[in-house]
Amino acid sequence: MLSLQAGAVVDKNFDYHVDRFADIEVLRYEVPEYDRLSLNQKKMIYFLSQAAQAGRDIIWDQNGRYNLQIRKLLENIYTNYKGDKNSADFKAFEKYLKQVWFGNGIHHHYSTDKFIPEFSETFFKEQVAALPDSLLPLNPGETRQQMMATLTPVIFDPTVMPKRVNQDGTIDVVANSASNLYGDGVTQAEVEAYYAAMKDPNDATPISYGLNARVVKEDGKIKEEHYHLNGLYGPAIAKIIYWLDMAKSVAENDAQKAYITKLIDYYITGDLRLFDEYSILWAEDTASDVDFVNGFIESYGDPLGMTGSYESYVNFKNKKSSDRTETISSNAQWFEDHSPIDPRFRKPVVKGVSAKVINAAMLAGDAFPSTAIGINLPNANWIRAAHGSKSVTLENITEAYDMASHGNGFNEEFVIDAPTSKLMEDYLYITDMLHTDLHECLGHASGQLMPGVDPDALKENGSALEEARADLFALYYLADPKLIELGILDNPDAYKAEYYKYMLNGLMTQLNRIEPGKDIEEAHMRNRQLIAAYILDKGKKDKVAQLVKKNGKTYVKINDYQKMRALIADLLAEIQRIKSEGDYKAGADLINKYAVKVDPKLHKEVLDRFSKLDIPPYRGFINPVYEPVYDKDGNITDVKLKYGENYVDQMLRLSQDYTTLGF
Ligand code: ZN
């Protein structure tokens, strides 16, 4: 049986709140159990943290070709500013810089829309004019005037590079995305034709095409530029390799040494076969306490879902809570066998679904400052099928979110009545954690494709439908008596807390992240609205769930939780069929019917009600600082963990210490 705190050791005096600007709140997270680590493990965390941050510039450059230059220019203006720091222009400038830091570039990390500066162009020009030449981040051969002619519209003109990742299926998503994953003049049709010619439909173990490549056009021909030691991003990769090599020297065991070696070989060559070999070794090492991800991993930043964004997570086991996920994953076959889908689409043997709960120790690249709370890797379907995958829940991150949210007035404003609020207060923390566990350990790993089905057949809807599949799997089992039988939940009604929150979020509160007049685009948000709107629609006749009015405000009301579970089962079966058969049309129909459009009246109401609460729609984290202590011979005798840094100081320090690509 688990307590509500799920084994957590919470320091009530820990200060989670760091900074607040625009639609963002920056938090810090605690690293519990750090003191239990050995000196070698602490050194490992230090070296891996260095490797993690060494790649920082890569994500900035992947997100947009001018990001590194703009970052340096803004930082130099900021640190050399001599004027009135209370002036409206300076305050707006500081806000913009904080946003740019948070987005790892000039686009919002989530909506991928370009930030709109609230300071004047005149202010900007004056500040640049005040900088001496030595403080200008100029490209080779570039003059001050040329730099300004390029960067001014990139920063100020809303029609220039307006969106980092454009998912609008009716236009050329490659040509209309501002990210730097494709070169000038490259079109979606050209990229698709290029990779179609490369893919062998009969290859049972395909590499992750395009994962570490920028696609460019040279003399009218499409080709890849690979990320590796002597290729694109070489100087950053050289530093990553250096620190990975240091980490290897204190690896916990031979299995870990072997996967670090393979990762280094991959970084040296850029050979995606080596990346697959690394991924297999990594997925199979479930014994190591300290662990990490470092590479080009998730492809949400690519409108075609191929190129991986640089990210790194350094972590170690949260021993107390890992019991929970080990129980779940050791019963993986039972969950697969009882899944409410066509038996043909079930995996006959679910292999090595491992799961553990971890404490994040360092977040970097695309995982910083905004981070996931659960990770399930590797991403390659055939590796997951043949060798299993590793699934982790970042407990100290979830905990920081939860602790920082207490008393913010959300439940009072949006939850329909006191009993539902009480249920959420008592059970939402544990059911949220379980939802993440089930989503990551079992949901993504479940099901199989029919022979010959292209894993990319669902195209631009693939990510949203895959997230829906994993969420539905998790939701379905949250209400299963099996969880009580396994001792993971102690109350058969606990799941209702998560069901209520899911409907509330999917139908209403997540709209707080959308600007008025815009559609839903991000994959996870589409998935949530898809599920919630489907339940609302299909349950209309039986009044399973409703939107009701009380005192002029809209509330989610759930009348029949068991029927809601049955609708979850129906939708899971259909989405699994769509994935297993590669039914693009049916997937696109579901997405278009339920996941994209927003009711403008309800949207406005949600925004108004939120604005009174001052709850930031997005949150992220700064990292703690690891400080090695050396003896007189230069040996590390300890690594101290420190929390006190603020957001601005951390960002400036990262730019100071980890600039590898150019400026
Ligand atoms: Zn997922």
- pLDDT tens digit sequence for 478-492: 999 999 999 999 999
Distance CA 332, CA 328 (A): 6
Kindly give the distance from the C-alpha atom of residue 470 to the centroid of ligand 1, in angstroms, as a whole number: 6
Task: Give the DSSP letter of residue 130.
Answer: T
Per cent of the chain over pLDDT 70 is 97
Alpha carbons within 13 A on the beta-carbon side of 128? 22
Question: What's residue 352's pLDDT?
Answer: 53
Question: What's residue 504's pLDDT?
Answer: 98
Question: What's residue 429's pLDDT?
Answer: 87
Kindly give the distance from the C-alpha atom of residue 439 to the centroid of ligand 1, in angstroms, as a whole number: 6
Kindly give the distance from the C-alpha atom of residue 437 to the centroid of ligand 1, in angstroms, as a whole number: 10
Question: What's residue 7's pLDDT?
Answer: 35
388 phi-psi bin (left φ>0, alpha ψ -120 to 50, beta other): left
Distance CA 654, CA 208 (A): 31
Kindly give the distance from the C-alpha atom of residue 76 to the centroid of ligand 1, in angstroms, as a whole number: 39
Question: What's residue 135's pLDDT?
Answer: 97
Mean predicted confidence (pLDDT) in 433-448: 90
Residues 6+ apart with CB under 8 A from 560: 539, 542, 543, 544, 545
Question: What's residue 404's pLDDT?
Answer: 87
Q: For 272-284, what is each residue's pLDDT tens digit?
A: 999 999 999 999 9
Distance CA 507, CA 67 (A): 35
Q: For 582-613, what is each residue's pLDDT tens digit?
A: 999 999 999 999 999 999 999 999 999 999 98
Instruction: Specify the residue for token string 């050194």.
Output: 43
Question: What's residue 9's pLDDT?
Answer: 41
Kindly give the distance from the C-alpha atom of residue 372 to the centroid of ligand 1, in angstroms, as a whole number: 9
Does position 198 have pLDDT exceeding 60, yes or no? yes
pLDDT class for 36, splitting at 50, 70, 90?
A: very high
Kindly give the distance from the C-alpha atom of residue 468 to the centroid of ligand 1, in angstroms, as a whole number: 8
Kindly give the distance from the C-alpha atom of residue 400 to the centroid of ligand 1, in angstroms, as a whole number: 20
Question: What's residue 403's pLDDT?
Answer: 83
Q: For 528-556, what is each residue's pLDDT tens digit?
A: 999 999 999 999 999 999 999 999 999 99
Does position 4 have pLDDT exceeding 50, yes or no? no
Does position 354 have pLDDT exceeding 80, yes or no? no
Kindly give the distance from the C-alpha atom of residue 92 to the centroid of ligand 1, in angstroms, as a whole number: 36
Instruction: Give CA 91 to chain center in angstroms.
Output: 29
Residues 6+ apart with CB under 8 A from 545: 503, 535, 536, 539, 556, 557, 558, 559, 560, 564
Strand pairing class (389-394; 353-365): parallel
The encoded tokens of residue 431 equal 């059911």
Alpha carbons within 13 A on the beta-carbon side of 40? 9
pLDDT class for 326, splitting at 50, 70, 90?
A: confident
Distance CA 206, CA 380 (A): 8
Question: What's residue 262's pLDDT?
Answer: 98
Q: For 42-73, what is each residue's pLDDT tens digit?
A: 999 999 999 999 999 999 999 999 999 999 99
- Looking at every residue in the chain, the average pLDDT score rounds to 94
Mean predicted confidence (pLDDT) in 359-368: 98
Kindly give the distance from the C-alpha atom of residue 63 to the centroid of ligand 1, in angstroms, as a whole number: 22
Helix intervals (H) in 35-110: 39-54, 56-63, 67-80, 88-103
Could you list which residues have their CB under 5 Å from ion ligand 1? 467, 470
Kindly give the distance from the C-alpha atom of residue 65 to the centroid of ligand 1, in angstroms, as a whole number: 29
Kindly give the distance from the C-alpha atom of residue 471 to the centroid of ligand 1, in angstroms, as a whole number: 7
- Three-state DSSP at 217 gives strand
Report the predicted TM-score, pTM, of the whole model to 2 decimal places.
0.80
Q: For 206-241, what is each residue's pLDDT tens digit?
A: 999 999 999 999 999 999 999 999 999 999 999 999
Per cent of the chain over pLDDT 90 is 87
Residue 144 and residue 138 in contact, taking contact as beta carbons nearer than 8 Å: yes
Task: Give the DSSP letter of residue 215.
Answer: E
Kindly give the distance from the C-alpha atom of residue 552 to the centroid of ligand 1, in angstroms, as a whole number: 36
Kindly give the distance from the C-alpha atom of residue 444 to the centroid of ligand 1, in angstroms, as a whole number: 7
pLDDT class for 6, splitting at 50, 70, 90?
A: very low
Mean predicted confidence (pLDDT) in 103-108: 98
The encoded tokens of residue 418 equal 């006191």
Instruction: Specify the residue for token string 């209400």.
Output: 479
Does position 83 have pLDDT exceeding 50, yes or no? yes
Q: Which of 115-119, 406-410, 523-527, 552-556 has the lowest mean pLDDT?
A: 406-410
Kindly give the distance from the C-alpha atom of residue 375 to the centroid of ligand 1, in angstroms, as a whole number: 8
Kindly give the distance from the C-alpha atom of residue 523 to the centroid of ligand 1, in angstroms, as a whole number: 10
Distance CA 621, CA 647 (A): 9
Question: What's residue 2's pLDDT?
Answer: 27
Kindly give the distance from the C-alpha atom of residue 467 to the centroid of ligand 1, in angstroms, as a whole number: 5
Distance CA 118, CA 100 (A): 13
Q: Where are the beta strands (DSSP E) in 427-529?
A: none
